[in-house]
Amino acid sequence: MTNFKFSLLACSIAFALNASTVYAAQPTNQPTNQPTNQPTNQPTNQPTNQPTNQPTNQNSNVSEQLEQINVSGSTETINVKEKKVGETQISAKKLAKQQASDSRDLVRYETGITVVETGRTGASGYAVRGVDENRVGIMVDGLRQAETLSSQGFKELFEGYGNFNNTRNSIEIENVKTATITKGADSLKSGSGALGGSVIFETKDARDYLIDKDYYLSYKRGYQTMNNQNLKTLTLAGRSKKFDILVVDTKRDGHEIENYDYKIYPNKQADLSKVGPTREKADPYQITRQSTLIKLGFQPNENHRLSVALDDSTLETKGMDLSYIFNQCKNSQCGEKYGERLINDQSKRKNIQFSYENFSQTPFWDHIKLSYSSQKITNKARSDEYCHQSTCNGVLNPQGLHLVEEGGVYKIVDKNGDEFTSKKEGYYNRFKNKQGKDVDNDIDSSAGTLDSVLIDCEQLNCNNKFRVFVEKDEEGEDKYQYENRDITIKDLNGKKYGEIPLKSKTKTIGNWSYEQQETARFLFPKSSGYSTDFVNDRDLNTNTQQIKLDLDKEFSLWHTQHSLKYGGFYEKTLKSMVNHQYDTVANVQWWAGNFFCNKLANGKRTPAPDYSAHRCKLMNTDKGKETYLIPVTTKNNVLYFGDNVQLTSWLGLDLNYRYDHVKYLPSYDEKIPVPNGLITGLFKKFGPKDRVYGSKYSIPNGYNDCTYNSDCYKKNFKDNLALLLRKTDYKHHSYNLALNLDPTDWLRVQLKYANGFRAPTSDEIYMTFKHPQFSIQPNTDLKAETSKTKEVAFTFYKNSSYITLNAFQNDYRNFIDLVEVGERPIEEGSTIAYPFHQNQNRDRARVRGIEIASRLEMGDLFEKLQGFHLGYKFTYQKGRIKDNGLNPKYKEFLDLNKDKHPEYEAIARKPQPMNALQPTTSVYNIGYDAPSQKWGMDVYITNVAAKKAKDTFNSQWTSMVKRKEKIYGNEKEMDASKANGKEVKDSRGLWRNNRYTVIDTIAYWKPIKNLTFTAGVYNLTNKKYLTWDSARSIRHLGTINRVETATGKGLNRFYAPGRNYRMSVQFEF
């Protein structure tokens, strides 16, 4: 706690609240003897239980229950008695005032929660209380969002190479009505995954706009300089008799976020030529998001309501991975490299929801809702790796040869429009241009013969003639001149192509006759006319279907007030991976695009459109789709119950319970197979007499043919697959117990005890990989990870002002980690041992911390200061992961180095810092909203402490310190690696943030009722800083998100933007 400095602002707010309470002339207007009507910690997305087709002069209760969503407004009122421990609700109004555009902006002014940075694929979920990604729940309208492939084995093998969009999908901020952030175990609302907390989104509804009118129209335009993003949002809401509708259509169009010193390179050529991990500027991407939210409601009377909703969004990223480690050469000398990896990533989400609501009061419910949802999420990563410059080896054309059409004749001419001549020099003829310069080395004079090349009649007009070069005629006489030839049109499976027949003549020598053919060819450049494109197209699919029943009831029993919520749902989710990997052609030039090969096989030529005219090479190796992970269906049965009980005017209880039964049902899709080699020999080994490797034609007598695709091989595959497809299930009882004490009308004390769980993801259970250097064995006996949260909060309040002091402790158990399980052969009697790893439950962790959240409405103290408000938030937290004994992965490393480096054992055994813990953070806010609500402004000051080295962890430290290690069985001394100029000596993280302070200023103005201008300056002082989440995203292994570790070059690419601006204008009617 030595770093904790209680803020002067926080002290002032606390003093002001207490002073104003003691000396107030009138009592507070917050009743203390009323039960809260706020839903307890139950699954959210509860509808507004009020009919929408009522007359516009409906009583004021409607206005109290429904929040109108707009940009302007003054005080953000908070009912202290509805505020849950560790929970924050962010409204659409607040997001609009702050000009939030993505998940980063959602938590920009919150403490204790940040987004997980991944580089090219953007943010991937949130980090809360020491855990992140799949350990923090994300829900949209009651549906869990896609999880990442979280297996450490997957991350080791694939994640560092940019071939998967392995992120948690985000939501369009313009669709959000409320975002509820819960810190601490929250499986009660989010189910599996909410170990550290949850972020739950509820989308807008027509009823939010149609409070006192029957229509609403809004058009919003926005722009932000940090990524040149343009925003267009159209919102329509209307009601006609028994029907109501909402349409929110949003489009964002921008590019990558500009890091500090973004304009470091003087021109575009210098920019594009600076590639690899030392690149200091963010990689160039074009990023667009298209989102459409439609909700249609039908309410025949005030007791019944039917509705259907469509939430459809696509996030697309196109550009170049210039910082990618591997880049193809621009030319044969490799003197200069260009980024040659083009990417096209997509994240698609589509949810269709049907629901029925009943508002009739019965002994069992006041409101009941039955809903069905079908959600499909696809995270795609596509990369094309090829040389796309005009100087690439595959498209070299030094003479500028090109195709022209003159008088119905196609001709191949050079860059000056001239044809070549052929002159004899010594024993051979050589080509010369019109200026007499030798160009023979630039012409493919040994290929392109008329019988080996066919013309694509869909690209060229085959009714024309073609001018070809004839070397010898059918008599065998030298010609070396051009001739115009007719093109014979033929058909292949509906595809028209052209052929220029060779002239021939029958010759006889004695009794022997033969065909004398001419020698004629197309004079193509010497290169192939295209670059080979290595395509990686991989999808991660999450398809969910859910049927859900929610009920609520308020009643009194023996002088106690109850707010009861209960229900359940059934959910089925299919998680699958589709991998499409092949070679094709790109950067195609005219001599490859207009011609193809007439392939020679067994003495006969056959048209082959998939083969190039240049040397008859196969241009597309697409063999279909495959997967590295078997598809798994998850079935989840849930029952929940919660009661908010007000026992007396000063004592309340929250009693909440949820039961989850999660079943994993693995399957196998023969249309998208797993490579057989990943499964054969995994559980059931090949026998000592089974010959697996080598040619099936060289198997010794007495041995079985078990080579690839043999019956023996297929049987072993099926046997091992049957053992892999084992069903697993998990049961968990989640609870959330809270005690609310109101000893006075200015103090509220809250105690909370809750738990959460995370069932292993399908890849953690079933992922398999087999290689002599790194193998993964499935584990169907994994336990669920669990967490427990204990919290106490003291809230001092008056009217709309409050300060909350919160202390918490989170305990985690059964953390899943990848461990070494030893070496073993996959064939009985074999000397080749495979080093197997497996996901196992090992670690436990504890996080402790304190938080402060406060807001002071100055008008509560001095009437003349009405409209001014102060705010302060603070989070300090500490945590460590404690392994249940020495991690097996350290055993060999410590045995090899115990003599020279005994200090390594102490490093390996000490508790491991939690990188997902944020540094100590404070957010100050001072703002003003005019009483007329026509203008206002806010200033936010964010202060983040430096991340201490002792609180960071480098998972690769054993391969970076000075050490002895085994390489193919031989021991070798290895020097220490350097990081930023210094030798790595321990397990501390390589990159950390320094302390920084950022100031943002945001203002709005409403010159007329229907028009709102909003503008802001972010990072007002142009501070250069690196966030901790960006620093910890830098990889040491792999090909993406890297810097030059030894020198630190390329680190600038990860810095946050400098001073930047945002502005928007909104018309409302």
- The answer to the question of residue 425 being in a domain is yes
pLDDT in tens, 647-700: 999 999 999 999 999 999 999 999 999 998 899 988 998 998 888 888 888 888
pLDDT in tens, 491-545: 998 899 999 999 999 888 888 888 899 999 999 999 999 999 999 999 999 999 9
Longest dimension (CA), the chain: 132
Residues in contact with 921: Cβ distance below 8 Å, sequence separation at least 6, in sequence order: 111, 112, 873, 874, 875, 942, 943, 944, 945
pLDDT in tens, 724-777: 999 999 999 999 999 999 999 999 999 999 999 999 999 999 999 888 888 899
Q: Is residue 442 within 8 Å of residue 383, measured between CB atoms?
A: no
- The answer to the question of residue 820 being in a domain is no
- The answer to the question of residue 1056 being in a domain is no
Q: What is the pLDDT of residue 34?
A: 40
Q: What is the pLDDT of residue 87?
A: 94
Q: What is the pLDDT of residue 331?
A: 47
SS3 44: coil
- Secondary element (H or E) of residue 482: strand 478-486
Question: Residue 546 to residues 352, 372, 698: CA-CA distances in angstroms?
Answer: 11, 6, 56
pLDDT in tens, 541-582: 999 999 999 999 999 998 999 999 999 999 999 999 999 999
- The answer to the question of residue 695 being in a domain is no
Q: What is the pLDDT of residue 192?
A: 95
Regions of the chain with pLDDT less than 50: 1-75, 330-337
Dihedrals φ, ψ of 1053, to 5°?
-60, -20
- The answer to the question of residue 463 being in a domain is yes
CA–CA–CA angle 282, 286, 291 (5° rounding)? 125
What does the mean pLDDT of the chain come to? 89
Q: What is the pLDDT of residue 226?
A: 97
Number of domains observed in the structure of the chain = 1
Nearest to 397 by CA among 524, 585, 521: 524
Q: What is the pLDDT of residue 328?
A: 54
pTM of the model: 0.88
Q: What dihedral do alpha carbons 508, 512, 513, 518 form, nearest 10°?
A: -80
Q: What is the pLDDT of residue 5?
A: 41
Q: What is the pLDDT of residue 66?
A: 32
Q: What is the pLDDT of residue 150?
A: 83
Distance separating alpha carbons of residues 788 and 753, to the nearest angstrom: 7
- The answer to the question of residue 462 being in a domain is yes
Q: What is the pLDDT of residue 21?
A: 40
Q: Which two tokens stand for residue 327?
A: 């880049």
Question: Residue 190 to residues 143, 145, 163, 598, 760: CA-CA distances in angstroms?
Answer: 9, 10, 30, 61, 15
Q: What is the pLDDT of residue 245?
A: 98
SS3 1034: coil
- The answer to the question of residue 457 being in a domain is yes
In angstroms, how far is the first alpha carbon of the chain from the final one?
53
- The answer to the question of residue 22 being in a domain is no
pLDDT in tens, 857-867: 999 888 899 99
Range of the domain at 458: 397-526+594-608
